[in-house]
Structure 1
Amino acid sequence: MYVDESALDDPTRLDSGGVAGLLPQVATAGPQVRHSAVLAAEAGFARLATDGRPRAILVVGVGGAALAADLIAALAGPAGPVPVLGHHTYGLPGWVGVADVVLAVSASGASAEALSAVEEAARRGARVAVVAPPDTPLAQMAALVAAPCVPLPGGRPASTVLWSLAVPLLIAGRALGVLRVADAALEAAAVRLESIATRCRASSESFVNPAKTLALELGGSLPLVWGTSAVTAVAARGAVDQLAAIARYPALAGGLPHPGHLQIGLLDGPFGARMGSGGAGPSTAGRGGGVTDDLEDFFRDRADDEETPPRLRLILLRDPGAEASEVTRQAEAVIAVAAERGVGVTELRAEGTDPLERLAALLGLFDFTAVYLALALGVDPSQTLSAHDLGR
């Protein structure tokens, strides 16, 4: 796999193709937070609380919209007064009824899964609210069942509209008494996202641009992205989604302690532990090999070499203020095990005082990272294969 580092600081390549069109869209995350909060208020999402606190909140969404459900569930936390659940298929679970709230989100407004869920929710008498572009089937369905609908601004790639989808859900959760999301927390998240957009702008060179640096660390590896709290576990899933959607790059997500029982075994597999003869063995430098040996190895013909698999790289998303002590100990142990196996480790710390701001800090970074990784790999992020294409 060839990773072209020079592409990340080449103005011509940064200003052309799919990357040039996507970077400005990614940079709108901060304004999306503010604008979506206003649209949710104007759409009357607060009316959902007229009949009191629901028995449960079901968030319906597929693809990138599914992360919005994870986001609101993480911020509600296990101590929340009612469960917040994601639903990513057709129809509704059998238990949903008049005591529940169904929130449907779709970047396209044409999701068959969301349409079927809203139709079924209305039939059962559940409270419903929708986030979708205007003049789309889902927006029309919302009007038909008299559900409040936040008009999602159109014309933007689905991979760049997370905050337009998620913020109305936060407003709904606050109105229903399920979430405590102050206006100050929304503003802090918006400011954090704007700060990331400035630090990760295309004109910022790789050695000072955190997104470009992270893209180069990921390139050529198989990333394991693990969170250490509920918030950073959502960020890990969002990071993996963006790497797949924008850079077409595979990665695995998890939230400690769970991966420590299962995915940890990967460190001893073919992508992890240094292999023997023919594997991704350690360099001879510093192990008795002389300068002549190193030069001969550098200039030798590699045409007949066996291709080695990509090496794992562990990306730990740390949340010091919210990590359980057991998880902190496990994270440190994982770092030590990775070092023993020769697996590279990158630690990223969630910055900010409020959980929403800390989540924004990590998600914003990976948005830019995915775009820069696509550029370094020669991938056009504007050419996207979706599930809708599979049936054609």
Structure 2
Amino acid sequence: MLPAVAASAAHVRTGYRAAVEAGVAERLSGHGRPRAVVVAGVGASAVGGDMLAAVAGNGAPLPIVRLRSYQLPGWVGATDLVIAVSGSGSAEETLSVATQAVRRGCSLLGVGAPHSPLEAVATQASAPYVAVPVSGESRANLWLLATPLVVAAAGLRLAQADADLFERVAKSLEDMAHRCRPSSESFINPGKSLAMDLAESLPMIWGTSSVTSAAAYRLACQLHTNAKYPAIYGELPEADHNQVVAFDGPMAERDIFADTSGRALRLVVLRDVDEHPQVKRRREASVRLAHDRGVPVTELAAEGVHPLERMATLIGLADYASTYLALGYAIDPTPVSAITELKARISP
């Protein structure tokens, strides 16, 4: 898993090149701007939709809907664009939505493995398809799958994204790989440091903007799949209307006389420069509230100018921290046996 995470920068460059060679921007812009964009995917493949929405931001001139299910909403029709993303190209939920989109006459863009069932659906519909060289676990190929979506957003004039941006993102991920290399000691390795913070705690991970919320969700999912570790995902201001009450609950209590430190709540806040003023006030007040109740807090700040750059700094860190946490517990981060068993149980 560590070499796979270290390949993120190369994945950005490969994903961008594959999208350009597939003519994504030109083919989508030729149809005019759709009424809405629906991004269909599950698991790690769905995170690209969150990233696309964050890049487009609140100023997007059309709704961007993320769909993690089998059924295309009834309102989606011929004037809408459906982007189907599947690392394997065979996720049953995504194939179901892509097939429905073709039947309804929607515009379709597919992103996934070459020579896959999803590519067959796109080819039959004469729709663009970005074939990316996915290998290993889909979650380790996030940037291969997400980069073509941002290229598509640029083609639809939903975001500013060019070759220079993707190169900056790749360099940022390379820098993270260097700082988080296995030979780097824990006190200077941000991935190992975050893993040590999270160990023996129940992380409650909050985002404060669309950018950091996408990264917060990614961190929670990576903790689940890599470290087989529970985590709670939230987003401000919503988390201040429910999750904050956990600061007064049993998971926030600590017995200072106990021989060992039991698992207890830890608040992890992902900050952004693009926070609503009231969200910033809520974040600061929430952190003070946690400190007042003895709940430890980890704050991580997104770095960079463009939303995609800022997501890269946090997602890169999340991928390393979750892997190091798994290794700290002597867990192999690569297999997901529970998911494999579940799929076997529901297969016809």
Partner of 1:213: 193
Partner of 2:55: 75
Structure-2 change in CA distance of 1:175 and 1:233 (3 Å): same
Superposition TM-score, scaled by structure 2 size: 0.95
The one-letter code matched in structure 2 to 1:120 is Q
Partner of 2:5: 26
- Counterpart pick for 2:312 among 357, 360, 372: 360
Query: What is the CA–CA distance in structure 2 between the aligned matches of 1:244 and 1:390, rounded to whole Å?
Result: 20
The one-letter code matched in structure 1 to 2:303 is E
- Counterpart pick for 2:270 among 283, 302, 317: 317
The one-letter code matched in structure 2 to 1:233 is S
Partner of 1:371: 323
Q: Report if aligned partners of 1:49, 1:176 keep a CA contact under 8 Å in 2.
A: yes
Q: Report if aligned partners of 2:90, 2:117 keep a CA contact under 8 Å in 1.
A: yes
Q: How does 1:310-349 map to 2 (within 5 A)?
A: 310-319=263-272, 321-349=273-301
Q: Are residues 1:194 and 2:174 paired?
A: yes
Q: How does 1:238-317 map to 2 (within 5 A)?
A: 238-272=218-252, 274=253, 280-282=254-256, 310-317=263-270
Deviations 1:13-46 (A, max 9, x none): xxxxxxxxx1001011111111111101111212
Deviations 1:59-116 (A, max 9, x none): 0101111111111111112220111111111131111111110100001111111111
The one-letter code matched in structure 2 to 1:186 is F
Q: Report if aligned partners of 1:240, 1:251 keep a CA contact under 8 Å in 2.
A: yes
Structure-2 change in CA distance of 1:308 and 1:373 (3 Å): closer
Of 326-335 and 358-367, deviating more is: 326-335
- Counterpart pick for 1:388 among 318, 340, 343: 343
Q: Report if aligned partners of 1:338, 1:344 keep a CA contact under 8 Å in 2.
A: yes
Query: What is the CA–CA distance in structure 1 between the aligned matches of 2:48 and 2:88, rounded to whole Å?
Result: 15
Partner of 1:183: 163
Q: Are residues 1:223 and 2:175 paired?
A: no
- Counterpart pick for 1:351 among 303, 307, 311: 303
Q: How does 1:142-153 map to 2 (within 5 A)?
A: 142-153=122-133
Query: What is the CA–CA distance in structure 1 between the aligned matches of 2:32 and 2:202, rounded to whole Å?
Result: 47
Superposition TM-score, scaled by structure 1 size: 0.85
- Look up the SS of the partner of 1:65 in the other structure: helix
Q: Report if aligned partners of 2:82, 2:108 keep a CA contact under 8 Å in 1.
A: yes
Q: Report if aligned partners of 2:70, 2:97 keep a CA contact under 8 Å in 1.
A: yes
Residue identity over aligned pairs, in percent, reads 43
Structure 1 residue 148 displacement after superposition: 1.2
Deviations 1:198-241 (A, max 9, x none): 10011111111110011011000000111121110111001001
Q: Report if aligned partners of 1:271, 1:309 keep a CA contact under 8 Å in 2.
A: no
- Look up the SS of the partner of 1:225 in the other structure: strand
Query: What is the CA–CA distance in structure 2 between the aligned matches of 1:221 and 1:154, rounded to whole Å?
Result: 33
The one-letter code matched in structure 1 to 2:336 is T
Query: What is the CA–CA distance in structure 2 between the aligned matches of 1:154 and 1:57, rounded to whole Å?
Result: 24
The one-letter code matched in structure 1 to 2:230 is P
Q: Are residues 1:95 and 2:79 paired?
A: no
Structure 1 residue 253 displacement after superposition: 1.1
Q: Are residues 1:53 and 2:5 paired?
A: no
Q: Report if aligned partners of 1:270, 1:309 keep a CA contact under 8 Å in 2.
A: no
Query: What is the CA–CA distance in structure 1 between the aligned matches of 2:51 and 2:134, rounded to whole Å?
Result: 22
Q: Are residues 1:35 and 2:10 paired?
A: no
Query: What is the CA–CA distance in structure 2 between the aligned matches of 1:332 and 1:124, rounded to whole Å?
Result: 47
Of 191-200 and 140-149, deviating more is: 140-149
Structure 1 residue 308 displacement after superposition: 7.4
Provide the alpha-carbon RMSD of the alignment: 1.5
The one-letter code matched in structure 2 to 1:66 is A
Structure 1 residue 382 displacement after superposition: 2.1
Unaligned runs of 5+ in 1: 1-21, 275-279, 284-296
Query: What is the CA–CA distance in structure 2 between the aligned matches of 1:332 and 1:205, rounded to whole Å?
Result: 31
Q: Are residues 1:233 and 2:213 paired?
A: yes
